[in-house]
Structure 1
Amino acid sequence: MKYSGIVELGTKQEAKSMFYTYAVGIDSRHRKDEIVYHYEKRQHYILIYTRTTAQFQIDDEEIPVKKGTLLLISPDKRASYTGVWEGYCDDWINFYDPDNQLANFRIPINKPVSLQENIPVSQYMQLMMNAFHSGMAQRDNVLSQLMMAFFTLIDNYLNSSLPQIAHYQKLLELREEIYANPARPWSIQELADQVSLSPAYFQDLYKKAFQVSCGADIIQSRIGQAKRMLAQTNLTMEEIADRCGYNSPVHFSRQFRKCTGYAPSKWRENALGENMVVTDHG
């Protein structure tokens, strides 16, 4: 079977109470009719994160799996999987656990775990792929620590008493759009419509997700933009007000003073005099 993005170490490393990464695959793609097999009595675990829907079989159990599912397959299990309506794609890691460190984590083995979109599984696997390629002297230690951090993240996600926030990924994308376009005349109704929620429910979820109201975040995005323009350009107050979504310099100046404690002209004077580092907050 040919995989994309694979690197392998031909032999197992000496055990030192660590996870040992044997092979890594990122964005591995297979045809719809292609079946991936893993035989039992291996020495390594297989960690799989699905990027498409798939049909798994672990020993004799048929398991339909949706996109965004994590599976941890133990060495004693036979496994096979294939795409359902399209070609199959996943990220995966083969690793050794010589001292049974997985026992320290409350993560199901040989059972699918559906994850929310905001859990950075692929990002962690990309970090592990980069470390695997690096050739650094402490590569095995780094990989083991990344595995520890990853399993801790998944354990906390699965067992946290905090409620998971619905629509988090869509809310995060909207927040990024707000900060990328502070001059846009945003309204709560428009934003709520983009995620098909009522304005009240949208505002409630937004505050739970980011610990700030959506309205306050819109203002903060504009003030952050204004700070950068004051410190880094020669634009007039009228021009800055317009580019930050304010209809008048008076409204801009009033809100800027309320958020920062300074008039825009005074803030510019201080920023230029002190080489101030500009951020979106504070």
Structure 2
Amino acid sequence: MIQIKRCGYNITHENGFTVDRPDGSGDFLFVLFRSKMEVELQGKPVITEQNSYILYGRNSKQYYKVIEQPMVHDWFHFDSDEMDELCGQLGLPLDTIITAHDPFYISRKVNELQTEHIHNGPYKREIMDATVRCLLMKLSEMRTRIDSNHHISKHYDQFINLRNVIYNSPSVSYSIDELATSMNMSRSHFQQLYKEIFGVSVMNDIIRNRLEFALHLLENSVHDIKTIAELCGYDNEVHFMRQFKKSVHLTPTQYRRKYRSPAN
């Protein structure tokens, strides 16, 4: 079983930060660099682009520092006797900088790990084990599918930038035609590439992002349901509640009562 020791989601160091562990950390370390970094590999400095990741082996030297402030990264330390075999099966090299083809997906998984790590549920270890395996399999699948497929890779950066805009503005109502036009593509070609790259249709991705934002607001704000619906891009409160219940299997009010932070 894969055991999570500690993790950090959206960790930010405004003035930069340097990690220097000559003998490693004694466990495996996954880091998603969301800032441009200098990483030492095999005794040589390597400059990474934003949204790159590395999977350090148990005793691998770990040295990295920020180039552009602030430093933002997601990470988790973990251990398992089967990691070398698992990485071999998935074709994921250790101690190698790899482009993060879907940094939003990776960040969400690290966020899930951090949330589960805090909650101490009865199946905590099993859920975290499954989450890491899911992440590693997804990373393997994305490397194989995107790196070897030119018609996807040549548009990849455009789609990542577009998805970043969508994810950062859940209150905006997007139409497929508008999004396709912004990419200078036909509606059908745009939809096809979006699903090939991200594994989900554009509308389902928009809905999922809205509902994830709704979960956050229900847990951490005092907004009423109508306001939350508007902040999540819904003109119709009833439509929001129907989509929410279909996805979460609870009404927004039921979810808030069950999961809202006691501090609120």
For the aligned pair, the TM-score class normalised by the smaller chain equals 0.5 to 0.7
Task: Give the SS at the match of 1:124.
Answer: helix
Match of 1:246 in 2: none
The 3 A distance-change label for structure 1 pair 205 and 45 is same
Partner AA of 1:169 in structure 2: I
SS at match of 2:112: helix
SS of the aligned residue for 2:35 comes to: coil
* Residue 57 (1) aligns with residue 48 (2): no
- What fraction of aligned residue pairs are identical, expressed as a percent? 9
Q: More helix per residue: 1 or 2?
A: 2
Gap change, CA 1:25 and 1:53, over 3 Å in 2: same
Q: Distance in 1 between matches of 2:74 and 2:9?
A: 4
State which of 169, 174, 197 in structure 1 corresponds to 2:160. Answer: 169
Cα deviations across residues 114-165 of structure 1 (Å, max 9, x unaligned)?
1234650000000001111111122111111111111011011111266455
Which one-letter code corresponds to 2:95 in the other structure? Answer: N
Change (3 A) 1:20 1:278: closer
Q: Which residue of 1 aligns with 2:31?
A: 48
Separation of aligned partners in 1, 2:118 and 2:92: 27
CA distance in 1, matches of 2:3, 2:170: 42
Give the 3 Å change call, closer, same or farther, for CA 136–198 of structure 1 in structure 2. closer
Closer, same or farther: CA 23–71 of 1 in aligned 2, 3 Å: same
2:81 alignment counterpart = 98
Normalising by structure 2, report the TM-score.
Answer: 0.61
Q: Which residue of 2 aligns with 1:80?
A: 63
1:146 has 2:131 as partner: yes
Q: Distance in 2 between matches of 1:124 and 1:178?
A: 19
- Alpha-carbon distance, 1:170 to partner: 4.6
Task: Answer yes or no: is the 8 Å Cα contact 1:46–1:92 preserved in 2.
Answer: yes
Which aligned segments of 4 or more residues in structure 1 are displaced greater than 4 angstroms?
170-180, 190-193
Give the 5 Å matches for 1:213-228: none
The one-letter amino acid of 2:114's match is M
Where do 1:110-259 residues align within 5 Å?
Answer: 110-117=95-102, 120-160=105-145, 163-164=152-153, 166=156, 167-172=158-163, 181=173, 191=179, 194=182, 197-200=183-186, 204-210=189-195
1:20 aligns with 2:3: yes
Distance 1:191 1:37, change over 3 A: same
Specify whether residues 191 and 127 from structure 1 end up closer, same or farther in structure 2 by C-alpha distance, changes over 3 A only.
closer
**Alpha carbons of 1:210 and 1:105: their partners in 2 closer, same or farther (altered >3 Å)?**
closer
**Which ranges in structure 1 are unaligned for 5 or more consecutive residues?**
1-17, 212-216, 219-242, 244-276
Contact 2:16 2:71 in 1 (8 A): no
Cα drift, residue 20 of structure 1: 0.9
In the TM superposition, what is the alpha-carbon distance from 1:178 to its structure 2 partner? 11
In the alignment of these two chains, the number of paired residues is: 195
Aligned position for 1:271: none
For residues 204-225 of structure 1, give each alpha carbon's deviation from its aligned partner in whole angstroms, at most 9, with x where no partner exists: 33443259xxxxx99xxxxxxx
Structure 2 residues without counterparts, runs of 5 or longer: 197-201, 204-234, 236-241, 245-264
Residues 24, 62 of structure 2: 8 Å contact kept: no
Task: Report deviation, 1:27.
Answer: 1.8
TM-score if structure 1 supplies the norm length?
0.57
CA shift for structure 1 position 180: 5.1
Native 8 Å contact 1:32 1:82 kept in 2 = no
Sort the Cα spacing of 1:208 and 1:25 in 2 relative to 1 into closer, same or farther, 3 A.
closer
**Which of the pair has more CA radius of gyration?**
1
For the 8 Å contact 1:59–1:79, the answer to whether it is kept is no
